[in-house]
Amino acid sequence: MTQQDGNVAMITGAARGIGLATAKRFLAEGWHVVMIDRLGDLLQKEARALGSNRAHPIVCDVSVPDQVSSAVTETLETLGRIDALVNNAGIAEFAPLLETSFETWTEVMATNLNGPFLMTQAVAPHMVAAGRGGHLVNVSSAAGLVALPWHAAYSASKYGLRGLSEVLRFDLARHDIGVSVVVP
């Protein structure tokens, strides 16, 4: 996407790691950045450290539909638009399948696969209605391309995210909304 004055990016998992680095890059390019993370104290600290009035932290667990809806509503009320969504939030629990509890499986799927689904369902209709196009970025993993030992839940979630992204690419192309999968 080309930068236009006032562009807004939402980035999940933005309190650390890839999400924080991505937020810094968007800010350097002149974007407003809505930093989404469930780690509220760390998120607030990192947003303040950026020293930019274009960094907008919102505490949100992407696996909770009401929190996702509230975060998108707050963003639209505050900034008026969303031009890019980076679904980066993710958790990793590594164990053989036979040692993976259903609770762990559910938590990994809720964040790594349901989170991008919920965020996309909340954001994409606004991109479509605005008619400016946009871009969705889903952060997967090498474990979403090649199955690795001890990665049952994580690999399944990242393979699923890759599949979801491929479908979205077809579904959203007619609205000039691009979809990318990043595989760190």
Q: How many other CB atoms are there within 10 angstroms of residue 124's CB atom?
A: 20
Listed in sequence order, the residues at least 6 apart from 109 whose beta carbon sits closer than 8 Å to its beta carbon are 153, 156, 157, 160
Q: What is the pTM of this model?
A: 0.95
Catalytic positions are 154
pLDDT 10s digit of each residue in the chain, 184 long? Answer: 555 668 999 999 999 999 999 999 999 999 999 999 999 999 999 999 999 999 999 999 999 999 999 999 999 999 999 999 999 999 999 999 999 999 999 999 999 999 999 999 999 999 999 999 999 999 999 999 998 899 999 999 999 999 999 999 999 999 999 999 999 9
Show the tokens assigned to 184. 């760190």
Region of 115 (left: φ > 0; alpha: ψ -120 to 50; beta: rest) is: alpha
